[in-house]
Amino acid sequence: MTEVALNPTRLILAAIIGLVVLLVLIIKFNVHAMISILIGAITIGIVAGMPLTQVVTAVNDGIGNTLKGIALLVGLGSMFGAILETSGGAQSLAVTMVNRFGDEKAAWALGITGLVIAMPVFFDAGLIILIPLAFSLAKRTKRSSLFYVIPLLAGLAVGHAFIPPTPGPVLVATMLGVDLGWVILIGIFCGACAMIVAGPIWGKICGNKYMIDVPEHVQNQPDIDESKLPSFGTIVGIILIPLILIILDSIVGVVAPESFIAPIIGFLGEPFLALLIATVVAMYLLGTRHGYTLKELEKVMTKSLEPTGLILLVTACGGVLRYMLQYSGIGDVIGNAVGSANLPIVVVAFVVAALVRICVGSATVAMTMAAGIIAALPGISGLSPLYLACTTAAVAGGATVCSHFNDSGFWLVKSLIGLDEKTTLKTWTIMETLVGGTGFLVALIISFFVG
């Protein structure tokens, strides 16, 4: 599909009008993000003067090419996470880490646990599962619950935003055409730094400044029965399966692409196959071996797919936005503007994602729109895989900062911890900004060496 030669001024006007329409629909009229993005993208094509047949082609290509890269990964990741959640695997990991670190360093244990758990388990589910442990620690040590909850939240936010197989970075990596192995490596490095700054460090500051008691409804909550949980080693081993296979594939592809083992690692390290292997292993070790019947597992895994439809459709519409920008030629106009401004792509990616995040609230929408705009820029495919992985981390960082009243996560955290709006802004919002900002700065520094 070739781009249409259209007037640059009209292209810029089309982009502005389309994005304004999109944002107004979401912010002012509360129209669903999927519908808003689709209407905004089509508006861009029509106002830009694209032939109607090419507008339709951009929609079809955007949906088809985007979904084929992430549909299986999101589905398998959801089922994998559901098994981990239902079996008590997340609790096992958290309890073991806290016991080994001790009460004094439990904040670090919760941050690391949140980071690991959020990769296969959705943020909301991970928080609801693990927050009782943070409350029990606060009750036992007579400290502010923020001392333990903030590190847990930071870890969950990092794992959810920066590290595949969680949907956000998978979406951005797919749009930018970068191997997930590099995204995982850069994401772990950026995420670890972000978790430390926004978790134990910021959590200690918040805990000392705000004495937030454990909510009344969990004051008399019984402690977790550790005897019924799967083993720590089993959980860690299963979670590492897809990460190691995907990373090995990327490394072997660079270090020994002609070796006899390269095709085998390439096959096993294909993201969907790596996740499939991990899911099957989890079905056995955490499912049937742990007392669940196959029918019970089937219900758990089927139910886990319910929220994926929304994620996939919003993501697909983000792909439509990307192809509309590319086919109309707006991508070239934006690319020339970025080039003349002499700004690194990593910085542009962060700023675009952050602006959408602040306006719309949804991290998924922010990642989707930012990835669509960056992927439409000329020359993106020629950048090194590591630089593109840094760009992916920058998008994740921008889509995380400044959570406030228009973000559902803000209200979930407020209600679960029992905070007022002002304190939530001073704790959770700053924590999210530290996560996104620190992750972006680390990605930016790395990009200077790999660009």
The residues, any chain, with a CB within 8 Å of residue 143's CB and separated by 6 or more, are 137, 207
The C-alpha atoms of residue 328 and residue 43 are separated, in whole angstroms, by: 12
For the chain, the C-alpha Rg in angstroms (whole number) is 22
Do 69 and 183 touch, CB atoms closer than 8 A? no
Sequence ranges of the domains in the chain:
8-450
What burial class does residue 280 get, using C-beta atoms within 10 Å of its C-beta: 0-12 exposed, 13-18 middle, 19+ buried? middle
Tell me how far apart the alpha carbons of residues 134 and 137 are, in angstroms, rounded to a whole number.
5
Q: Are 66 and 174 in contact, with CB atoms under 8 Å apart?
A: yes
Token pair for residue 104?
Answer: 């004094």
Cα 413 from Cα 163, distance rounded (Å): 22
Query: Residue 63: helix, strand or coil by DSSP?
Result: helix
Amino acid at 114: G
pLDDT at 316: 87
How do the pLDDT tens digits run along the chain, 451 residues long?
Answer: 545 556 788 998 998 999 899 889 988 898 888 899 999 999 999 999 999 999 999 999 999 988 887 889 989 999 999 999 889 998 899 999 999 999 889 999 999 999 999 988 888 888 888 898 899 889 888 899 999 999 999 999 999 999 998 888 999 999 999 999 999 999 999 999 999 999 999 999 999 999 999 887 665 656 666 667 899 999 999 999 999 999 999 999 888 888 889 999 999 999 999 999 999 999 999 999 888 999 999 999 999 998 888 888 888 888 898 899 889 888 888 877 777 778 899 999 999 999 999 988 888 889 988 999 999 988 888 899 999 999 999 999 999 999 998 888 899 899 889 889 999 999 999 999 999 999 999 999 999 998 6
pLDDT for the residue 172 = 93
Structure tokens at 207: 């805990």
